[in-house]
Chain A
């Protein structure tokens, strides 16, 4: 798995490529932590290249939800494959995390 981070205007964009499982979720955790440390308030996770997400990967998003709500940091996921989106839906996470289609939608939200 590979994590890329790009800054586009006020948006901090994290791109995930490949499988997000127990071993690779640590990298994502570090990337989000870094964004928080940099006082980023608009984080977009680009999932266009994300092929698989395990419960550990979901756990990473989960661990930040409350902190972000309290600190007014927005976290938006975009361009999820149908399979990955289904995982979020089954778990009910789509109610807690904003999930949109395109990156542009993510920016307007």
Chain B
């Protein structure tokens, strides 16, 4: 705004001055005022552009040059229109009248200044692209000195004046220094460079035409303000021209290397793209596609295929591009016949047709092959093969780049695998945890029979899911069924088998069958549910607290121990009995017996699973039945709870570990 006001004021002032001159009344003060106004106009025009262009984003150099060119073109057009209007009118007065010629000249000053200001700050932007501290400082000194040169408006110089030279020479030097900061040129693509050359040429032409205009006026007209004598305008013109010419030359010389640079730049971008594709979240499959397509573009291959092997050497993935799966097969056959095998080093075949056995692949037209192995931990995990129609089509740089590329991808594939393994393991552990929880929930949380039986339970699951089972059922207020069992095997299946066992027990026990019959039925039911290799051992006791008798059957389970509390003796409740599920041909009945015995007050019944007696020490000795029996006799007077603590402590002491390898259950009943 201020710039426009100043310009209008100068215009107005000039008109008055000229009027006065015409009337031969000199006005001395107007000179200074005119200079002040001119300087203000210059300064504010420049500041305006400084702010406007400064706010623009760098990087679009062509857009910036385009802007300079457009400004120039418009200004040239305006000045041409003015000139043509003048020519068209064929009026001598129009030219000779100092008033009109001065007014026109002022319009020229205005547009030239706009053109210069625009150009100046666009160049600033380009020169300071990727600036260093030094270039920044040099530029700022130059910029401020140039702006300072506005002051020279107040003195009238001739171009040849030594003072004029003294002031302009440092400016020229600084301008030269700055003009050679042409980093931006390197960031242009080949196409952009051509466009820049064109724009620069046009800008130079426009600048020259302006310069010509100024000097034309300088020589022909009598002017109040002569730009030709203005250091500021001279400096900027010089700077612009110099810069444009230098840039033009640099661009020209850069053109031949541009395509190579662009290729290298493209490779960097490809690496980045590949790297991004390796980030977490992308599918392994996508990465294979990426690897094939990126490799092909990088070396400009005509076809490619990729094979990925799993840890056992089986084919995990196959990707082909621009080649048939069948042709791949034929090529591989030909390679094998020529003893070309994939090793850990990349292999290069200059011309496959110079080898033997290539009749079947001749028609495909592929000549040079590049075979790159994908390795992880020195293990071959795949092969990438690139094919070209050219003889000796791959150079060393290409091979190096692709090899680096593929190494990077190999690492990613390895990471993908580690990750999926980790997820698998985690899922497996999660499932085990669920199985463990299910199994735990199947065991009774509290067991109470009646006041004449004191009962305590210890049950400890193994690290894995085991198959220990115990349960009880009240047949009448004085008759109780109590059972303990062990499902063969571990893991999730053991938990399910245990669930089946619980179902069988809970349904059969309500029938109140004799214990051997119970076992026969249970065997039939279990035999139908379980796999051939699986079985369940089970002991069932029916305790009558009124008659103080126990009826029991032992289906392959470790024999319970009954301790005589008075005589300090103990006996194993063994006897015939086959595990459930071991006989499935209807003959089970022959292999199970029912036993009955009576107990006395103070007697102790110890039920357990093999995890307890099979606990072993470091020299692989088992805890065994006798140690358990002996310990029971010695501590029979204690409560079941105390007895359990004593036994468990003893077993742990024996094995030297607090963690049982198998799961371990201990049930102790004391009769009163």
The chain A residues found within 8 Å of chain B, CB to CB, are 22, 51, 55-56, 58-60, 62-63, 65-66, 69, 83, 90-93, 95-96
* Separation of A27 and B91 alpha carbons in the complex (Å): 118
Q: Which residue of A lies closest to B537 (CB)?
A: A91
Q: B72 in the interface, Cβ–Cβ < 8 Å?
A: no
**Chain A residues with CB under 8 A of B565:** none
CB < 8 Å neighbour of A62 from B490, B533, B557, B585: B533
- Interface 0/1 of B256-287, CB less than 8 Å to A: 00000000000000000000000000000000
Task: Output the least CB separation between B539 and chain A (Å).
Answer: 11
**Chain B residues with CB under 8 A of A55:** 486, 488-489, 535
Task: Output the least CB separation between A33 and chain B (Å).
Answer: 13
* Separation of A20 and B310 alpha carbons in the complex (Å): 31
Best-surrounded residue of A69, A90, A95, A96 (most CB of chain B within 10 A): A90
Known contacts A22-B490, A59-B488, A83-B622; A91 and B532 CB within 8 A of each other = no
* Separation of A46 and B130 alpha carbons in the complex (Å): 85
Would you call the interface of chain B mostly helix, strand, loop, or mixed? loop
B488 touches A96 (CB 8 A): no
Q: B534 in the interface, Cβ–Cβ < 8 Å?
A: yes
Instruction: Please tell me the size bucket of the interface on B.
Output: 20 to 34
B533 touches A91 (CB 8 A): no
In addition to A22-B489, A59-B489, A92-B577, 14 A-B residue pairs with Cβ atoms within 8 Å of each other are A56-B533, A58-B488, A59-B535, A62-B533, A90-B537, A90-B556, A91-B535, A91-B537, A91-B578, A92-B556, A93-B556, A93-B578, A96-B578, A96-B591
| 9 nearest A-B pairs in the assembled complex, by CB-CB distance | A92-B578, A59-B533, A55-B488, A91-B556, A63-B532, A63-B533, A91-B579, A92-B556, A92-B577
Best-surrounded residue of A62, A65, A66, A96 (most CB of chain B within 10 A): A62
A92 touches B576 (CB 8 A): yes
CB < 8 Å neighbour of B582 from A51, A83, A91: A91
Task: Output the least CB separation between B613 and chain A (Å).
Answer: 10
- Interface 0/1 of B574-593, CB less than 8 Å to A: 10111100111100000100
**Chain B residues with CB under 8 A of A93:** 556, 578-579, 582
**Chain B residues with CB under 8 A of A83:** 622
A92 touches B591 (CB 8 A): yes
CB < 8 Å neighbour of A60 from B533, B559, B577, B578: B533
Q: B236 in the interface, Cβ–Cβ < 8 Å?
A: no
B559 touches A90 (CB 8 A): yes
**Chain B residues with CB under 8 A of A60:** 533
B533 touches A95 (CB 8 A): no
Q: Which residue of A lies closest to B625 (CB)?
A: A86
Q: Which residue of B lies closest to A66 (CB)?
A: B585
Q: B555 in the interface, Cβ–Cβ < 8 Å?
A: yes
Q: B435 in the interface, Cβ–Cβ < 8 Å?
A: no
Task: Output the least CB separation between A78 and chain B (Å).
Answer: 21
* Separation of A58 and B533 alpha carbons in the complex (Å): 8
A95 touches B558 (CB 8 A): no
* Separation of A53 and B532 alpha carbons in the complex (Å): 18
Q: Which residue of A lies closest to B530 (CB)?
A: A59
* Separation of A69 and B578 alpha carbons in the complex (Å): 17
* Separation of A92 and B557 alpha carbons in the complex (Å): 9
Task: Output the least CB separation between A77 and chain B (Å).
Answer: 15
* Separation of A36 and B470 alpha carbons in the complex (Å): 39
**Chain A residues with CB under 8 A of B583:** 96
